[in-house]
Amino acid sequence: MHILVTGGAGYIGSHTCIELLGRGHRVTVLDNLCNSSTVSLDRVQQICGQRPAFVEADLRDRPALESLFAEAAKTGGFDAVIHFAALKAVGESVAQPLRYYENNISGSICLFEVMEKHGCRRLIFSSSATVYGLPEKLPISESESIKPTNPYGHTKSMMEQVLLDTAAAHAWNVTLLRYFNPVGAHPSGLIGEDPEFPNNLMPFVAQVAAGRRPKVTIFGDDWPTPDGTGVRDYLHVCDLAAAHVDALEKAAPGAATAIYNVGTGTGYSVKQMIAAFESACGHPVPSVIGPRRDGDVPTVVAEASLIRQRLGWEAKLGLQEMVRDAWNWQRRNPMGFKGALLD
Ligand SMILES: NC(=O)c1ccc[n+]([C@@H]2O[C@H](COP(=O)([O-])OP(=O)(O)OC[C@H]3O[C@@H](n4cnc5c(N)ncnc54)[C@H](O)[C@@H]3O)[C@@H](O)[C@H]2O)c1
């Protein structure tokens, strides 16, 4: 298949390019590089011997999308789109809601309109466990109610609705993947998560371990969890990448919609994650206890059996691989893609 990967230069997108190329698919990446660099695509080439075609463009640039789809049509068109491109920082979305709605919603709608015009009606969408907000039941199943608590989460739940309505009206084949907490990196250490300022625990821990930041703040140690710190369902980014390609290859043919949690069903606390990272890097990672953050919840763990039953996907990599690979990436790229690659 020829797959258009929006946001394919980013963290999850670049890992998914490797999985797609490895399974023999043809890949075109569209990215405006607002949170990434083409070095990730050079590294994809280093890992798998092929470089995805790359178009630097914004999702909201309709003429650019039109010409991309028209050009692809000359060789059979895109068979499907994997749509990663979005802004994703929860705190930033609270401070700049219009920017988030404009980018994530206007951008996505522009993409979907061009897809429909060109008869490309198959899409895998990056959604998030954030859509569940404060869950009523654990583990969280796909039938849990949708009630996001921040603008970023609202952009995801709104796009889910747009896609379900579009699928119903125009016979699209749509898979919504609700990711839990992707972490880790490709085992080569050549690509990984490269935030300027980390919003999530693992990249923060990795940057502290590498000496880029002084300490990790743990937001509350008085939660109703075994050690008092927040518990999340972490999954290896390579497993997550495989879930996308499984969803593409194994989805029911024709018009259909599917919604899957992508997680492991196992939760680890902040303290457990830091301890595991310390074992991987071989030295202590300084941390301090801070106050709880508004809107945080004690435990978020997926009920992950649906994707196993329907697509045969389950996480193959455990906590040890997650922290080993996250550290290997950080150790080899202490300043991310901007700095030198170490041995
Ligand atoms: N990383 C996570 O923890 C997580 C969890 C749940 C869901 N998601 C979702 O998964 C997707 C990928 O996340 P990621 O962690 O790889 O993020 P990322 O920032 O590394 O990748 C997103 C990519 O999209 C590009 N982009 C953003 N807006 C664009 C636009 N208007 N036009 C073109 N390109 C644009 C960015 O340059 C970047 O390369 C996002 O939709 C995100 O919301 C991520």
DSSP string across 71-116 = HHHTTT--SEEEE------HHHHHH-HHHHIIIIIIHHHHHHHHHH
Which residue's structure tokens are 């889910």?
Answer: 160
Distance 226 CA to ligand 1 centre (A): 32
Which residue's alpha carbon is at the smallest distance from atom 2 of ligand 1? 182
Distance 305 CA to ligand 1 centre (A): 25
- 129 neighbors 261 (Cβ within 8 angstroms): yes
- pLDDT score of 17: 98
Q: Which one-letter amino acid corresponds to residue 160?
A: E
- 330 neighbors 192 (Cβ within 8 angstroms): yes
Ligand 1 pocket check for 12: Cβ under 6 Å? yes
Ligand 1 pocket check for 13: Cβ under 6 Å? yes
- pLDDT score of 151: 96
Which residue's structure tokens are 């997550």?
Answer: 240
Ligand 1 pocket check for 337: Cβ under 6 Å? no
Provide φ and ψ at 9, rounded to 5°.
Answer: -85, -10
Query: In the annotation, is 234 catalytic?
Result: no
Give the Cα separation of 173 and 276 in Å (integer).
40
Q: Looking at 152, 234, 260, 268, which residue is catalytic?
A: 152
Ligand 1 pocket check for 261: Cβ under 6 Å? no
Distance 35 CA to ligand 1 centre (A): 8
Going residue by residue through the chain (343 aa), what tens digit of pLDDT does each one get? 999 999 999 999 999 999 999 999 999 999 999 999 999 999 999 999 999 999 999 999 999 999 999 999 999 999 999 999 999 999 999 999 999 999 999 999 999 999 999 999 999 999 999 999 989 999 999 999 999 999 999 999 999 999 999 999 999 999 999 999 999 999 999 999 999 889 899 999 999 999 999 999 999 999 999 999 999 999 999 999 999 999 999 987 888 999 999 999 999 999 999 999 999 999 999 999 999 988 788 999 999 999 999 999 999 999 999 999 999 999 999 999 999 999 8
Give the Cα separation of 342 and 171 in Å (integer).
49
Distance 221 CA to ligand 1 centre (A): 30
- pLDDT score of 12: 98
Atom of ligand 1 nearest to the CA of 127: 7
Ligand 1 pocket check for 86: Cβ under 6 Å? yes
Which residue's structure tokens are 């069903």?
Answer: 265
Atom of ligand 1 nearest to the CA of 156: 43
Ligand 1 pocket check for 107: Cβ under 6 Å? yes
Helix (H) or strand (E) holding 28: strand 26-31
Task: Kindly state the DSSP code that residue 330 receives in the 8-state scheme.
Answer: H
Mutation test of ligand 1: which of 37, 84, 132 has the most ligand atoms closer than 8 Å to its C-beta?
A: 84
Domain architecture of the chain: domains with CATH = 2-184+234-263+301-313 (3.40.50.720)
Mutation test of ligand 1: which of 12, 96, 159 has the most ligand atoms closer than 8 Å to its C-beta?
A: 12
Ligand 1 pocket check for 34: Cβ under 6 Å? yes
If you write DSSP's letter for every residue of 205-254 in order, what string do you get? HHHHHTTSSS-EEEE-S-SSSTTSS-EE-EEEHHHHHHHHHHHHHHSPSS
